[in-house]
A and B are shown apart, each in its own frame.
Chain A
Amino acid sequence: MTGRSDAVGAGSSASTAGQSPRRQELIAWSFAAPFLILFLVFMAGPILVAFVTSFTDFRVTDIRNPLAINFAGLDNYLDVLADPRFQKAAANTSVFVLVGVPLTIVLGLAAAVGLNQGVVKARALFRVGFYLPVVTSIVAIAVVWRLLLGTEVGLINGTLSIFGIDGPGWLSDQRYALWSVIAMAAWRNLGFLMVIFLAGLQTIPRDLYEAAKVDGAGAWQRFRSITLPLLRPTLLFAAVITGIGYVQFFEEVYVMTQGGPLNSTLSLALYAYSQFSFGNYGYTAAIAFVLFIAIAAVTYFQFRVLRTD
Chain B
Amino acid sequence: MSTLAPARNLPPAVPASESGGQALGGGSHWWIYVLLAIGLILLVGPFIWMVLGSFKTTGELRQVPPTWWPQNPTLANYEDLFSRLNFLGYFFNSTVVAAAVTAGNVIFCSMMGYALAKLSFRGKKVLFGLVLGTLMVPGMVTFMPLFVLVANIGLVNTHAGLILPFLAGGFGVFLMRQFIGGIPDELLDAARVDGAGEHYIFWRIVMPLCGPAIATLTILTFLGSWNSFLWPLVVATSDTMYTLPVAIALFATGQQETNVALLMAGSVVVIMPVLLVFILLQRHFTQGIAMTGIK
Cβ of A168 under 8 Å from chain B: no
Q: From B70-78, B79-87, B160-168, give the one contacting chain A.
A: B160-168
Measured CA separation A175–B69 after assembly (Å) = 33
A258 to chain B, nearest CB (A): 6
A189 to chain B, nearest CB (A): 6
Q: A42-B164, A196-B294, A199-B294 are in contact. Are A140 and B270 (CB under 8 A)?
A: yes
Cβ of A82 under 8 Å from chain B: no
- Taking a contact as CB atoms under 8 Å apart, the answer to whether B192 and A31 are in contact is no
- Taking a contact as CB atoms under 8 Å apart, the answer to whether A135 and B294 are in contact is no
Chain A binding surface, main DSSP class: helix
B65: chain A residues within 8 A (beta carbon): 158-159, 161-162
Cβ of B145 under 8 Å from chain A: yes
Chain B residues within 8 Å of chain A by Cβ, number: 123
Q: From A84-92, A240-248, A301-309, give the one contacting chain B.
A: A240-248
A62 to chain B, nearest CB (A): 9
Cβ of B253 under 8 Å from chain A: yes
- Taking a contact as CB atoms under 8 Å apart, the answer to whether A140 and B267 are in contact is yes
- Taking a contact as CB atoms under 8 Å apart, the answer to whether A206 and B145 are in contact is no
Other-chain residue from A13, A63, A248 in contact with B148 (beta carbon distance below 8 A): A63
Q: A133-B43, A138-B227, A195-B14 are in contact. Are A296 and B66 (CB under 8 A)?
A: no
Other-chain residue from B44, B131, B202, B248 in contact with A143 (beta carbon distance below 8 A): B248
Give residues 25-59 of B contacting A (CB, 8 Å). Answer: 25-29, 32-33, 35-36, 39-40, 42-44, 46-47, 49-50, 53
- Which of A16, A131, A139, A285 has the most chain B CB atoms inside 10 A of its CB? A139
- Taking a contact as CB atoms under 8 Å apart, the answer to whether B46 and A291 are in contact is no
Closest to A64 in B: B152
Proximity string of chain B (263-295) to chain A, C-beta cutoff 8 Å, 1 when within and 0 when not: 110110011001100110010010001100011
A133 to chain B, nearest CB (A): 6
Q: A140-B248, A202-B20 are in contact. Are A119 and B270 (CB under 8 A)?
A: no
Cβ of B260 under 8 Å from chain A: yes
- Taking a contact as CB atoms under 8 Å apart, the answer to whether A299 and B64 are in contact is no
- Taking a contact as CB atoms under 8 Å apart, the answer to whether B136 and A141 are in contact is no
- Taking a contact as CB atoms under 8 Å apart, the answer to whether A129 and B43 are in contact is yes
Give residues 187-236 of B contacting A (CB, 8 Å). Answer: 189, 192-199, 202, 223, 226-227, 229-230, 234
- Taking a contact as CB atoms under 8 Å apart, the answer to whether A244 and B5 are in contact is yes
B89: chain A residues within 8 A (beta carbon): none
- Taking a contact as CB atoms under 8 Å apart, the answer to whether A206 and B278 are in contact is no
A47: chain B residues within 8 A (beta carbon): 134, 137, 141-142, 145
B164: chain A residues within 8 A (beta carbon): 38, 42
Give residues 72-114 of A contacting B (CB, 8 Å). Answer: 110-111, 114
B102 to chain A, nearest CB (A): 14
Other-chain residue from B28, B127, B194, B285 in contact with A118 (beta carbon distance below 8 A): B28
Give residues 200-258 of A contacting B (CB, 8 Å). Answer: 200-203, 206, 209, 213, 219, 233-234, 237, 241-242, 244-248, 250-251, 254-255, 258
Other-chain residue from B13, B50, B199, B285 in contact with A144 (beta carbon distance below 8 A): B50
Q: A42-B146, A118-B23, A137-B226 are in contact. Are A242 and B7 (CB under 8 A)?
A: yes
Measured CA separation A136–B7 after assembly (Å) = 12
A25: chain B residues within 8 A (beta carbon): 120-122
A25 to chain B, nearest CB (A): 5
Other-chain residue from B11, B49, B223 in contact with A148 (beta carbon distance below 8 A): B49
- Which of B13, B21, B195, B234 has the most chain A CB atoms inside 10 A of its CB? B195
Cβ of A28 under 8 Å from chain B: yes
- Taking a contact as CB atoms under 8 Å apart, the answer to whether B47 and A132 are in contact is yes
| Interface contacts beyond A63-B152, A187-B42: sample of 5 additional A-B pairs, CB < 8 Å, sorted by A | A12-B193, A140-B248, A144-B50, A202-B17, A244-B136
**Residues in A lying within 8 Å of B, measured CB to CB:** 6-16, 24-25, 27-32, 34-36, 38-39, 41-47, 49-50, 53, 63-64, 110-111, 114-121, 123-141, 143-148, 152-153, 155, 158-159, 161-162, 187, 189-192, 195-196, 198-203, 206, 209, 213, 219, 233-234, 237, 241-242, 244-248, 250-251, 254-255, 258, 269, 272-273, 276, 281, 284-285, 287-289, 291-292, 295-296, 299
**Residues in B lying within 8 Å of A, measured CB to CB:** 1, 5-8, 11-15, 17-18, 20-29, 32-33, 35-36, 39-40, 42-44, 46-47, 49-50, 53, 61-66, 104, 107-109, 111-112, 114-116, 119-122, 124, 127, 130-131, 134, 136-149, 151-152, 164-168, 170, 173, 189, 192-199, 202, 223, 226-227, 229-230, 234, 244-246, 248-249, 252-253, 260, 263-264, 266-267, 270-271, 274-275, 278-279, 282, 285, 289-290, 294-295
- 25 contacting pairs across A/B (C-beta < 8 A): A6-B197, A34-B108, A35-B112, A43-B142, A46-B141, A116-B20, A117-B28, A118-B27, A118-B28, A118-B32, A132-B275, A137-B248, A140-B245, A141-B271, A143-B252, A147-B264, A155-B49, A158-B64, A158-B65, A202-B15, A202-B20, A248-B138, A269-B140, A276-B147, A292-B141
